[in-house]
Amino acid sequence: MEKRRIGTLSVSVVGLGCNNFGIRLDAERTDRVVHAALDSGIDFFDTADVYGGTRSEEFLGRALGKRRDEVVFASKFGIPLDEQRKGARPEYVKQALEASLKRLGTDRIDLYQLHRPDPEVPIADTLGALEELKQAGKIREIGSSNFTAEQIAEAENAVKPGAARFVSVQNEYSLLQREPERGVLDACVKRGIAFLPYFPLASGVLTGKYAKGAPVPGGTRLSAPDGPLTPRFLSERNLELAGKLQEFAGKREHTLLELAFSWLLARKAVVSVIAGATSVEQIQANVGAAGWRLTADELQEIDRVLVVDG
């Protein structure tokens, strides 16, 4: 599989998002998905302390076991686990890292990411704590998540000469949610920062399993009408656009899933598409979806299909 770089790290262009571990998948099913990913060429695994109420890290570490050195671990901190364990205070950064290392069963995290900005803590203070952890060999690179272009610039300006800087930003980005194009992607290209899209498949809407006017398939993430993600992703607009995009892909003998992956990987700043999976079949489909090399004309036509807002 093709590799791209996040700072000093080399990662597969298809990554595995581990937010299903400990929620939709138990330890045994997590093990099957993790090993299917490894066997398919995926070496980039993205989790967070908050996923599965800390079980995602535990299940992932247990599943990898002796194969830990074959992968690039990415985890995150900052979203509250409880009233005490939250935010980006320097003392908590160190506490959160030690807890994640223990759950993952490793002595280092390759990419340690601030899950979201903490308005109560100067970014320079957080960066200082992360620099200490990097110097100690407990993390290799640091990244951010849910940062605006202005926050990326603020963090860059706060870095002391020779100290650790954010080498990545992980924000929501897909064919149906293009907010990063309003400044963040340009900031990444300008500063040499890797962009990692989450929700690249719009919670499944860009897989082709949902269709306008058709019943919602049972057992899927969006099958519960009162689910937290259902109203946002199963909107009339999204289903209509997904239908148009599926038609575009079908005319070129490709699937909607292939379009979703390959369109993201055609963006200059994007390094790896992090997609979740709950089965071996989904892993194999994701890996196979990244090979379509879209032409400039096709990218322009996609823009016309989407009728991009100004």
Report residue 247 CA to chain centroid gap. 27
Output phi, psi for 259, to 5 deg: -65, -45
**CA 180, CA 172: separation in Å to the nearest integer?**
8
- Residue 65 tokens read as 């076991």
For residues 215 and 239, the answer to whether their CB atoms sit within 8 Å is: no
- H or E element that contains 12: strand 9-12
**CA 246, CA 206: separation in Å to the nearest integer?**
8
25 to each of 15, 18, 217, 226, how far by Cα in Å? 18, 10, 19, 21
Q: For residue 170, is it left (φ>0), alpha (ψ between -120 and 50) or beta?
A: beta
Per the annotation, the verdict on 51 as an active-site residue is yes
Please tell me which residue in 51, 112, 173, 210 is annotated as part of the active site. 51
Q: What angle do CA 36, 41, 47 make, to 5 degrees?
A: 70
Residue 236 burial class via C-beta count within 10 angstroms: exposed 0-12, middle 13-18, buried 19 and up: exposed
**CA 307, CA 101: separation in Å to the nearest integer?**
45
- Residue 261 tokens read as 């992956």
CB within 8 Å of 223: residues ≥ 6 apart = 216, 217
Residues annotated catalytic, as ranges: 51
